[in-house]
Structure 1
Amino acid sequence: MLADQLLTAVEYLHGKSFIHRDIKPENFLMGVGPNRNKVFMIDFGFAKRYRDQRTRWHISKSRNNPLIGTARYCSINTHEGKEQSRRDDLESLGYMLIYFLRGSLPWQGLKGANKKQRYNKIMECKISTSIEELCKDIPKEFGTYIFYCRCLKFDERPDYKYLRQLFQILFKRRGYQNDNTFDWTFLEEKESKLDPAGPSTA
């Protein structure tokens, strides 16, 4: 359910001819009140048009670009200095989803004498970690997702519906029901019933 909403949010942004370029957990928030089960994307400081506003032509490839975004989640292409496009937002989202599931990523905690060295170590780890190893002991759909994103061409339109369906099929296979309510919402409701006075303001 979360993956579905995240993909829909990214697709919406791409539909407006922008890429985010800093997909990470901190840039998504849950709503409050009636929207408490809805995901919102925030922080568009690194966002960039990938299509010309007048001609609708896709931006051109370029190289030797500085790393824009967060090294932990950015795509291999971004590490290599290639111009970002829609595929890179989606690859970043894939790493984010794996992080949510595993609690960590293989390239976390790598050190370097400076930022450049640390980024290089992260890049080397991403390249050397096979998709099979990255997605070991987690549902196969995550590996399929990463493989698909990495195979996209620079200016290719991603099949967002296909990517959503990957996780929808997994959701059903696990026997879950889409009640549009996240687990933590139930926990909040349970806690509020146990403590009718609400949280302490002391």
Structure 2
Amino acid sequence: MMQGGVGIPTIKWCGSEGDYNVMVMELLGPSLEDLFNFCSRRFSLKTVLLLADQLISRIDYIHSRNFIHRDIKPDNFLMGLGKKGNLVYIIDFGLAKKYRDGRSHQHIPYRENKNLTGTARYASINTHLGIEQSRRDDLESLGYVLMYFNRGSLPWQGLKAATKRQKYERISEKKMSTAIEELCKGYPAEFTTYLKYCRSLRFEERPDYSYLRQLFRTLFHRQGFTYDYVFDWNMLKFVSEN
């Protein structure tokens, strides 16, 4: 269903081997979480914007194939290898869900009282509130990922609680009580604009992916950056090799 898309891992083979179902995928490089740690848990604005452009495109593609990912986080984005070393891949479709019919484009119905699916740190507010996820939620999660890369951490990280449920509640409360302006304070206004846009989307609404990409591309050019695909980790490797 996803095969052939840019940044979608190629499936080499799948079948049964003894008692196991097997899927062989192309070999990929480190995750963005691995690279974030390698870069001392802070990315430059240039790297964040280079990533934002590709990450929005990956989500756009998945949505165009009638699916939502539902677990957007740094661990689920991997860099390619060799000639594809500048390409970001999206992985782990274990929580993905079809949000509309392929032929009629009939959207799944709005529902409440859903359990949290995905990773609490990056979950959208509506997901915390138990609302059925749709396209808007993948993009809101991406907004938190981008701010995590900018800031080094998110305000709702490291909260202690007795149970998993209580921890999710504490994260939810902190997320809802942290204004977007406060979260993005000290960073370009485009990050605030991005998150406000995602939170303003209606359940069935198609996000304007081009608008969101353009938002960050305009900032990229205004900063005087060039699309040379030199990420922070390339610079570190270069320095360590010389």
Shorter chain as denominator, the TM-score bin is over 0.9
Select the residue among 101, 107, 122 that pairs with 2:156. 107
Select the residue among 13, 24, 31 that pairs with 2:80. 31
5 Å-filtered alignment, 1:159-198, equals 159-192=208-241, 194=242
The one-letter code sitting in structure 1 at the alignment partner of 2:58 is: A
Question: How far has the Cα of 1:185 moved from its partner?
Answer: 2.2
What is the alpha-carbon distance in structure 2 between the residues aligned to residue 91 and residue 178 of structure 1? 25
What is the alpha-carbon distance in structure 1 between the residues aligned to residue 81 and residue 235 of structure 2? 14
What is the alpha-carbon distance in structure 2 between the residues aligned to residue 65 and residue 72 of structure 1? 17
DSSP 3-state at the match of 1:175: coil
Question: How far has the Cα of 1:190 moved from its partner?
Answer: 4.6
Does the alignment pair 1:65 with 2:109? no
What is the alpha-carbon distance in structure 1 between the residues aligned to residue 66 and residue 217 of structure 2? 26
Alignment TM-score, normalising by the size of structure 2: 0.77
The one-letter code sitting in structure 1 at the alignment partner of 2:189 is: K
Structure 1's unaligned 5+ residue stretches are 195-202
Q: Which has the higher strand share?
A: 2
Question: How far has the Cα of 1:49 moved from its partner?
Answer: 0.3
The one-letter code sitting in structure 1 at the alignment partner of 2:225 is: Y
Q: Once superposed, which parts of structure 1, at least 4 consecutive aligned residues long, lie more than 6 Å away?
A: none
Question: How far has the Cα of 1:172 moved from its partner?
Answer: 1.1
Alignment TM-score, normalising by the size of structure 1: 0.92
1:153 corresponds in structure 2 to 202
Per-residue CA shift, 1:96-135, capped at 9, x if unaligned? 0000010000100111110111101111111111111111
Per-residue CA shift, 1:122-171, capped at 9, x if unaligned? 11111111111111111110000000000000000000011011111111
What is the alpha-carbon distance in structure 2 between the residues aligned to residue 189 and residue 123 of structure 1? 41
Larger deviation, residues 126-135 vs 84-93: 126-135
Question: How far has the Cα of 1:189 moved from its partner?
Answer: 4.1
Structure 2's unaligned 5+ residue stretches are 1-49
Select the residue among 123, 127, 138 that pairs with 2:176. 127
The one-letter code sitting in structure 1 at the alignment partner of 2:117 is: I
| Contact persistence 1:37–1:185 (CA under 8 A) | no
DSSP 3-state at the match of 1:72: helix
2:60 corresponds in structure 1 to 11
The one-letter code sitting in structure 2 at the alignment partner of 1:17 is: N
Per-residue CA shift, 1:17-62, capped at 9, x if unaligned? 0000000000000011000010000000000000023422010001
What is the alpha-carbon distance in structure 2 between the residues aligned to residue 94 and residue 132 of structure 1? 13
1:46 corresponds in structure 2 to 95
DSSP 3-state at the match of 1:105: coil
Q: How many residues align?
A: 193
Percent identity of the aligned residues?
Answer: 62
Larger deviation, residues 51-60 vs 23-32: 51-60
